Amino acid sequence: MPRVQLRFRWFSASALSAVMWFAPQAGRTEDAPVVSVPAAESAAADASEFKLAPAEEAPLTVAFREHLAAPESGPCGRPDCPICNPKPAAKPPAPILPWKGLYFDNDFSYKTKPNAPHFLGEELKNIPLFDCDCEPSGITLSAGGEIRHRYMNEDNRLRPGGPGRTDYDLYRWRQYVDLKYRDEFRVYVEGIDASIFGAELPITGIDKNRWDIQNAFFDLKVGERDGKPVYFRAGRQELLYGAPSAVSPGQQVISPLDWANTRRNFEGFKMFSKGETWDLDLFAVQPVNTANPTGPKGGRPAAGPTAAVNTWDHQFDHADGSRWFSGAYMVYKGIKDNTIEPYYVWLQTDPSKHDITWADGNRHTLGLRWTSTKPIKDECDQPWIVFASDIEGAYQFGRDNDERVQAGFFTSKLGSTFSQLPWTPQLSVLYYYGSGDKKKGDGTNSTYDVLIPLNHAYWGIIDSLAGQNLNDYALQATVKPHAKLTGLAALHWFNQVSGGDNVYNVAGSPVGGLNTGRNLGQELDLVTTYTHNPNFDVQFGYSWFWYGSHFKGANATLTPGGPLLEDATQLYIQTSLRY
């Protein structure tokens, strides 16, 4: 176990006390409606999506399924059964999801509905300005944000500047102001202060960004499609593509990476439109802060993400002129319980910034994602098991360091949720493949560039590995012992795709040698999330990483920071307050 010092900041200590007090309340049934949050961006989605769920669970005893005949003794007698009651009880209202993965997508329209719940900070949302007795002006102002603290204690993790042992505190404050004129025009500005205290290892690019601008853009309505607006956006902005599914957090290719203290952002242009069956986004942007990997040479005066944070910590960020991300992302919603998401991403890197150890260059990525759910219902038309799948893959081609690029990835996650069992367990299996180079310098580069994904959710919470040259087999289980409490356990088995290519750490840097064993190790993640309401949650996580044969013997000395002396562990406690 890592050594946990008693110098936790008061914020996490108070939050942990709250968890210990509320846990015994699991048996109470008189609680008001509350919200359920996925276990991790973390490990199961970007933690910004919420659902209201009744604290009093539905009856758990349903003896007959839809493929069986009704019992001879008579109907079940449930009040919501369409067989027993020709007029079944009304469906519960749609879940209220005020805070989104991108704060400029927040939705507080529920305020106008009768008997709507109250959330901290909603008084500052959708405030009408300059209204008169004759008619409203159409101008509204919203303000809000987030305060987050995370205590980290890590030992021997394969990290930039590591491995080593350290514990530290991460603080993040986000504050936004959103001004709208009807659906015609909008100005959005969001600031961030991300700080770190007590770290004994080098500070990385995702840890620190003091008093800077995270988002600053305007939206202009330029047309309509399917009776809905088409917008043009210009300025500094975050990107998130791949919405959460029943078994996956999405964001496999483009994510703001909320786990990072800093969050990724970009500068550039975007055209976007939501339709009846198709959503379409077109974008051309450049990465901004040091949370975006830039390679060993980078597009900044400092070399690499670890050194860059020292340069950009005390000055305002500006775009990395050496890189462009351009592309199109589409979502088809025309099939019930299914979504299909084709996309294209073009990464262009300044040739003078190329490095033979870095997967970048001029790369085109063509991808497709398909998510599906299939509920199996009982004789009372209630789901008792829900099958879900999330399948995604992409082919990557282009040029990198004067070599032809032929690379790609594939991932599949299949899960089953047992809706009528105690604790609503979900069991899932995951497979991930990211191609690796078979032979260095043969004229073909087969190392897949993972672009800017939510890597924290796919390749282990301890963040030792990235998705280049990687096979990942995983089993995951989630349970919900109480409406406010969710538990997750995930076990990963990692190995190399090709022994002729390197292993890559979470920052995308190669580590270790070639042809020294393909077994990378196993990882176990345990995560518990307590959600008091949409405003406030606490998350506790502990991870073990048992290094495989690739990191043993002589190859261990080739990893950054020296030899691997023992297996890795990581503990964290995170508290978040949104307003």
Each residue's pLDDT tens digit, 302-353: 445 456 676 667 788 888 888 899 999 999 999 999 999 999 999 998 887 7
Residue 64 has pLDDT above 50, yes or no: no
Parent domain of 510:
10-70+91-578
Which pLDDT does position 81 carry in this prediction? 64
Nearest to 401 by CA among 347, 359, 371, 454: 359
Confidence of residue 259 (pLDDT cuts 50, 70, 90): very high
Position 78 in a domain: no
CA 181 – CA 422 distance, rounded (Å): 48
Phi, psi at 555, each rounded to 5°: -65, -25
Which pLDDT does position 405 carry in this prediction? 95
Q: Which of 19-28, 210-219, 384-393 has the lowest mean pLDDT?
A: 19-28
Q: Which residues contact 579 (CB under 8 A, 6 or more apart)?
A: 120, 121, 124, 144, 145, 146, 147, 535
DSSP states of 409-448: EEEEEEEEE-TTSTT--EEEEEEEEE---SSTTSSEE-PP
Terminal-residue alpha carbon distance, the chain: 35
Which pLDDT does position 302 carry in this prediction? 44
CA 47 – CA 249 distance, rounded (Å): 9
Position 158 in a domain: yes
Q: How many residues does the chain have?
A: 579
Position 75 in a domain: no
Identity at 507, one-letter amino acid code:
A
- Summary mean pLDDT of the chain: 83
Which pLDDT does position 518 carry in this prediction? 87
CB 347 within 8 A of CB 363: yes
Which pLDDT does position 316 carry in this prediction? 87
Which pLDDT does position 412 carry in this prediction? 96
Confidence of residue 429 (pLDDT cuts 50, 70, 90): very high
Confidence of residue 3 (pLDDT cuts 50, 70, 90): very low
Q: Highest mean pLDDT: which of 102-116, 192-206, 351-365, 522-536?
A: 522-536
User: What mean pLDDT is predicted for residues 290-299?
Assistant: 64
> How crowded is the C-beta side of 50, counted as CA atoms within 13 Å?
25
Residue 432 has pLDDT above 90, yes or no: yes
Q: Which of 58-72, 171-185, 245-259, 542-556 has the lowest mean pLDDT?
A: 58-72
Position 1 in a domain: no
pLDDT digits (tens, 9 = 90+) for 370-401: 999 999 988 888 888 999 999 999 999 999 88
- DSSP 3-state assignment of 407? strand
Q: Which of 19-23, 163-167, 262-266 has the lowest mean pLDDT?
A: 19-23
> How crowded is the C-beta side of 454, counted as CA atoms within 13 Å?
26
Nearest to 436 by CA among 470, 460, 403, 401: 470
- How many other CB atoms sit within 10 Å of the CB of residue 180? 18
Indicate the burial class of 276 (C-beta count within 10 angstroms; 0-12, 13-18, 19 or more). exposed
Residue 41 has pLDDT above 50, yes or no: no
Which pLDDT does position 26 carry in this prediction? 39
Nearest to 288 by CA among 149, 192, 379: 192
Which pLDDT does position 321 carry in this prediction? 86
CB 393 within 8 A of CB 367: yes
Alpha helices in 521-565 (DSSP H): none
Proportion of the chain above pLDDT 70, given as a percent: 77
pLDDT digits (tens, 9 = 90+) for 80-131: 666 666 654 455 566 688 999 999 999 999 998 888 899 999 999 999 998 8
Which pLDDT does position 299 carry in this prediction? 56
Q: Which of 133-142, 174-183, 536-545 has the lowest mean pLDDT?
A: 133-142
C-alpha distances (whole Å) from 102 to each of 118, 194, 248 are 21, 17, 18
Confidence of residue 516 (pLDDT cuts 50, 70, 90): confident
Which pLDDT does position 40 carry in this prediction? 38
Q: What's 134's domain CATH number?
A: 2.40.160.100
CB crowding 118-151: b at 16 or more within 10 Å, else e: ebebbeebbeeeeeeeeeeeeebebebbbebbbb
User: What mean pLDDT is predicted for residues 487-508?
Assistant: 92
Residue 300 has pLDDT above 60, yes or no: no
User: What mean pLDDT is predicted for residues 39-53?
Assistant: 38
Position 383 in a domain: yes
pTM of the complete model: 0.83
> How crowded is the C-beta side of 370, counted as CA atoms within 13 Å?
6
Which pLDDT does position 559 carry in this prediction? 55
Q: How many domains does the chain fold into?
A: 1
Q: Which of 28-32, 98-102, 364-368 has the lowest mean pLDDT?
A: 28-32
Indicate the burial class of 334 (C-beta count within 10 angstroms; 0-12, 13-18, 19 or more). exposed
Position 123 in a domain: yes
* Tokens encoding 380: 């009372």
Confidence of residue 33 (pLDDT cuts 50, 70, 90): very low
Which pLDDT does position 203 carry in this prediction? 87
Residue 464 has pLDDT above 60, yes or no: yes
Position 3 in a domain: no
Q: Which residues contact 136 (CB under 8 A, 6 or more apart)?
A: 128
How far does Cα 51 stand from its chain's mean position?
16
Strand-pair category, 403-417 with 444-445: parallel
Give the residue with greater pLDDT, 530 vs 517. Answer: 530
CA 154 – CA 161 distance, rounded (Å): 13
Position 340 in a domain: yes
User: What mean pLDDT is predicted for residues 185-207?
Assistant: 93
Give the residue with greater pLDDT, 170 vs 24. Answer: 170
Give the residue with greater pLDDT, 13 vs 243. Answer: 243
